[in-house]
Amino acid sequence: METTIQTNISSEVTLTDPSTDIVLGAIYGIIGCLGILGNLLVCTVFLMRRKVFSSTTNLLILNQSTIDLADSIFYLVLRFGPQLSEQGDNIWGELACRIWFSEYVIWSLFVASTVNLLFVSLERYFAICHAVKHRKIFTTRRANIGRVVVWIIGFSYQSYWAALHRLEDGKCYAHWPTPTIQKIGGVFFFACEYLIPLIIMSFSYANIVIMLRRKSKRDNKEVNTFQRAKRNVTVTLCVVFLSYSVCWTPTEIAYLLYNLGGDYDFESVLHRIFTALVLGNMCVNPIIYVFKYERFQVELRRIFCKHNRIGDPSLGGGSTVRTVAGGGHNSDGEGPSTVQ
């Protein structure tokens, strides 16, 4: 997964054209800025409408945007902020190498993002396929605990990457003890951070799609607002999962092949394109919410549009907002007081 400098990089470094570097640098900067603006917007809407977005699903979506926001900020600071390469071969230089130049923080947040997406997929799977179990397992308290656990897992898991790095002659490198350990580690980390989560998420959403199709064939009558909201948030998160798969698959496979002994140029244009895809995953989710998540669209209009009256046709097709019986949070992506 990691794309920083490795010890086994071929001695023949491909020199890219300066204009290519400028274009890719501009793309990286745009992606980072979009990641900050988009995820900040999502966090703002969710926090300003806490009662609406208080379900377990939305708490995890908020956590996802918080992680991506932090990742976007750290990425821009690392790429375009002050450089710390003049620390020298001392304890502070060693710490800068292990924590900063190794990109430990950025990749820890990427792992946390993957774990959070895994939690979201499991939550949706139980909500659609095992509703009774879902109500027992996925409580608000457990969702909040899960949000914290995601961050802990990301930084704990990725600590191996900081441990591998060393500062030599003012340059920061990752040193695997032996090629054999690198191969074993490459396969292990590929499975843990990509393959296993991808299999679980694919299983979850495949079963969700099958279940929704069965229900649509069985229920010929008109779908009510609650069922519509339930399906909409699920479809939205399916799209989020698909975008994750597209953005991460190329770089994960390339890094696995590299750890297994294959030649891979970390200075090539192809690698930089793979990196751009990974970074793009930080900013794509807010775009998906804007175009797919109906509840988010409604609340976004209510916050930023002048006409924010309940029943305004521009805020939800002209239908008024009704209260969910019981006043408690529902488990299908909508808050305690409103359903679209």
Quick check: is 301 in a domain? yes
Quick check: is 2 in a domain? no
Return d(Cα 27, Cα 96) in angstroms, integer. 26
* CATH code, domain carrying 269: 1.20.1070.10
Q: Identify the domain containing residue 116 by its residue range.
A: 18-315
**Cβ-contact 257, 42 below 8 angstroms:** no
Quick check: is 8 in a domain? no
What one-character-per-residue DSSP string does 176-228 give? -S-HHHHHHHHHHHHIIIIIHHHHHHHHHHHHHHHHHHHHHHH--SPP-HHHH
Could you tell me the end-to-end alpha-carbon distance of the chain, in angstroms, rounded to an integer?
39
Give the pLDDT confidence score for residue 42 in this predicted structure.
96
- Identify the helix (H) or strand (E) that includes residue 136: helix 131-137
Q: Whose CA is closest to 155, among 34, 74, 43?
A: 74
Q: Whose CA is closest to 283, among 73, 116, 39, 70?
A: 39
Give the pLDDT confidence score for residue 13 in this predicted structure.
36
- Identify the helix (H) or strand (E) that includes residue 167: strand 165-168
Domain count, the chain: 1
Give the pLDDT confidence score for residue 249 in this predicted structure.
95
Q: Whose CA is closest to 280, among 61, 80, 113, 46?
A: 113
**Cβ-contact 56, 139 below 8 angstroms:** yes
Quick check: is 81 in a domain? yes
Quick check: is 129 in a domain? yes
Return d(Cα 110, Cα 68) in angstroms, integer. 8
Listed in order, strand segments (DSSP E) in 13-91 are none
Question: Tell me, what DSSP letter sits at residue 339?
Answer: B
CA distances from 51 to 47, 265, 328, 338 (A): 9, 49, 10, 9
- Identify the helix (H) or strand (E) that includes residue 174: strand 171-174
pLDDT of the chain, 340 residues: tens digit per residue: 444 433 333 333 344 567 777 888 888 899 999 999 999 999 999 999 999 999 999 999 999 999 999 999 999 998 887 665 545 567 888 888 899 888 899 999 999 999 999 999 999 999 999 999 999 999 999 999 999 999 999 999 999 999 999 888 777 888 999 999 999 999 999 999 999 999 999 999 999 999 988 877 776 555 567 778 888 999 999 999 999 999 999 999 999 999 998 888 777 888 888 888 998 999 999 999 999 999 999 999 999 885 544 444 444 443 333 333 333 445 454 444 333 3
Give the pLDDT confidence score for residue 16 in this predicted structure.
52
Quick check: is 326 in a domain? no
Distance between alpha carbon 181 and the CA centroid of its chain, in Å? Answer: 29
Return d(Cα 188, Cα 173) in angstroms, integer. 21
Return d(Cα 129, Cα 121) in angstroms, integer. 12
Using a CB cutoff of 8 Å and minimum separation of 24, what contacts does 113-116 make? Answer: 113/64, 113/67, 113/68, 113/71, 113/154, 113/281, 114/193, 114/194, 114/197, 114/244, 114/248, 115/150, 115/153, 115/154, 115/197, 116/60, 116/63, 116/64, 116/67, 116/147, 116/150
Q: Which amino acid is at 277?
A: L
CA distances from 187 to 18, 39, 156, 199, 257 (A): 35, 32, 19, 16, 9
Quick check: is 190 in a domain? yes
Distance between alpha carbon 313 and the CA centroid of its chain, in Å? Answer: 33
Rg of the Cα atoms in the chain: 22
Quick check: is 13 in a domain? no
